Amino acid sequence: MDIREVLINALKGFDLRKIIKNPVMFITEIAFFISIFIIIFPSDFNVPYTSVYIYFYISVTVLLFLTVFFSNLSTSLSESQSKAITSSLEKMKISTKANLLKDGKIIIVNSGELKKGDTVLVRKDETIPSDGEVIKGSGYVNESNVTGESRPVLKLVGDSVTGSTKLVTDEITARVSVNPGESFIDSMIKVVQNAVREKTPNEIALSIFLSGVTLIFLIVVASIFSLSTYTGIKPNIDILLVLLVALIPTTIGGLLPAIGIAAVNKVSQYNIISKSGKAVENAGDIDTIILDKTGTITMGEREAVKFYSNQNYDYKEFVKNALLCSFNDETIEGLSIVRLAKKENINYSEEELKDYKFMPFSSETSYSGIKNGDKYILKGSLRSLSEKLNLNDAYINGVCKEISLKGGTAIPVASAGKFIGVIELNDILKPGIRDRIEDLHKMNIRTVMLTGDDEVTAAYFAREAGIDQYIANSKPDDKYNKVIEEKNKERMVAMIGDGTNDAPALAKADVAMAMNTGTQAAKDAANMVDLDSTPTKLIDVIFLGKQILITRGSLTTFSIANDISKYFVIIPAMFYLFPELGFLNLLNLTDPLRAITAALIFNTVIIIMLVPLALRGVKYTPSGASDLLQRNIMVYGFGGLVFPFIMIYIIYILLGLGGIAW
């Protein structure tokens, strides 16, 4: 962070053309200019100009300047974070040569010349020149410069690829999906840059409220002059300026821009790119979240958890056969079967496999295994093996049904014309997912799980995870229909997706997160893209959205509460000649000008004290709206009333000890 640049930008913020967008600080700056004129032309304002008052006027002027400066500084600090993120994103952009395929020939061009629809060839160890979709070939792509994940990701036909990432194996042909300046990284940079200028809907609403409050108090302070008609006492205009600045919500007015900028910055720190601040705001108001089972609720990787041998078949012999038919199976399921079998201390030798040929799993056969002439050991779906081998075993059928009722997947094993046992696979719940679902329930967010699994499996995982509703055997259009159904109930909906068939539902959802590994259509339809392609991050976004709303509400509550405390200091000081108002002087401050100065000092420094909290955010614990409101009132409402009294009194005493007494 360049401190010099931050300070310079804070000073540039005094430009009235900029600060007028923040009415609270605009009024404070006008008060600052008036206080300067009072020092230069005291007779024009008919104010006392003794040495005592001169020091007071100078103090007021300096403190008003610092109030505006600290407000600008909070915004400047937030913008510096955005610029740091922008700089890191710009470093991702790599200008490279591209192998453009045209009329059957390869033409070498700069990556910046590629247009949407162009076809490029990318060879091993070459940089992918632009965003696109794989149309031929496959290979592993190193996306660490975008996602931070060092492990390369396999890209197949139909998968999207991001410009500036590197192909580390094989060769692919990709169709460019964007024009120059419209790449994914370009979009990321624009989003972060726009965070400095754009206001979110809730921020606009709060700004209107603060403007209204400011206008009301401006009228109130102006009307105080009418008191002189009845009292004969003309209020000091500099004191009126202090009263005005104390009355209007300067604390939240000074921090509001920083909170808005910090919102988009925080999403970026999660390695998520939000296409608009509105999406982040919407996340805080979500009522329903639609989740896929595989990869979101569960790990998405089925693992072997138990062996069941058939009746009258030796258990250890069955486990050994299960190991042998999976020995060369490099799928996650196959590796887990071998791993589980080894835990059973089964003795085996690779020599036993030398005469066998491995048969990999295929969608046509729905089984895999080993075969040597008429000898075989096969594992696969109950239906496929029953049909191929013409088998029907009531015991095995019962075991498979029992496994399904527990939410598992049954893999029968057959050899020598009969079923010899069943392997149970489980797609286990993600660690901590049940607690996260419970946190959503505490926020009164309804959870819906969609899965292509059958009713029994879907019910099991929904029950285990604590899901409110599930849709089994779901088809691609079920997501879209569910989003529409929930929105028709006037609920705010969040969902994730990665396929082209998810695009319509993503486009309709209020918060739609696409996976970076997903298709271009999904990323275009969504308003957020997760660079790490971690589905559970949608829950993180909802938590973040809630935290932003809570932060804004908490600081607004604190600002209004500490304004009330300042009234009890400044108003008695203004009318100290009236004993009737003595009951308002709760702190029993005997020096009016010193009391007013102490209140203004607190009003100034509290802004800079709260900047770290505005940027970091108020700690958020999932709970209901009533609990949050109660906590907000107790901590930031009651605290906002008491804390200023303590601080103003301390400042008042310190000013006296420093020999400042008017």
Contact 531, 146 (CB under 8 A): yes
DSSP states of 46-82: T---SHHHHHHHHHHHHHHHHHHHHHHHHHHHHHHHH
Q: Report which of 53, 61, 22, 27 is spatially closest to residue 220, judged by C-alpha positions.
A: 27
What does the CA dihedral 206, 210, 216, 219 come to, rounded to 10 degrees? -150
Q: Which residues contact 163 (CB under 8 A, 6 or more apart)?
A: 93, 94, 111, 128, 129, 130, 131, 132, 183, 184, 185
Q: Tell me how far apart the alpha carbons of residues 225 and 399 are, in angstroms, rounded to a whole number.
A: 90
Closest CA to 292 of 506, 528, 512, 471: 471
Cα 221 from Cα 362, distance rounded (Å): 81
Q: Is the dihedral of CA 21, 24, 25, 28 positive or negative?
A: positive
β 511-515/272-274 pair status: unpaired
Task: Determine whether 656 is exposed, middle or buried from the number of CB atoms within 10 Å of its CB (0-12, 13-18, 19+).
Answer: middle
Nearest to 220 by CA among 567, 470, 624: 567
Instruction: Give the whole-angstrom CA distance, residue 176 versus residue 210.
Output: 48
User: Per the structure block, which two tokens stand in for 262?
Assistant: 């910090």
Parallel, antiparallel or unpaired: strands 493-497 and 511-515: parallel
Which residues are designated catalytic? 292
**Measuring CA to CA, how many Å separate 5 from each of 191, 499, 564, 569?**
22, 44, 36, 37
Task: Return d(Cα 400, Cα 312) in angstroms, integer.
Answer: 18
- Looking at this protein, which amino acid is placed at residue 309? S
DSSP E strands, 416-510: 418-426, 446-450, 469-471, 493-497
Are 38 and 237 in contact by the 8 Å Cβ rule? The answer is yes
CA atoms within 13 A on the CB side of 503: 11
Strand order in the sheet with 357-359: 303-309, 418-426, 409-415, 375-380, 367-372, 357-359
Q: Rounded to an integer, what distance in angstroms lies between the CA atom of residue 366 and that of residue 536?
A: 31
Q: Pairing mode, if any, of strands 153-155 and 132-142?
A: antiparallel
Altogether, the residues listed in the chain come to a count of 662
- The dihedral region occupied by 369, where left means phi > 0, alpha psi between -120 and 50, and beta the remainder, is left
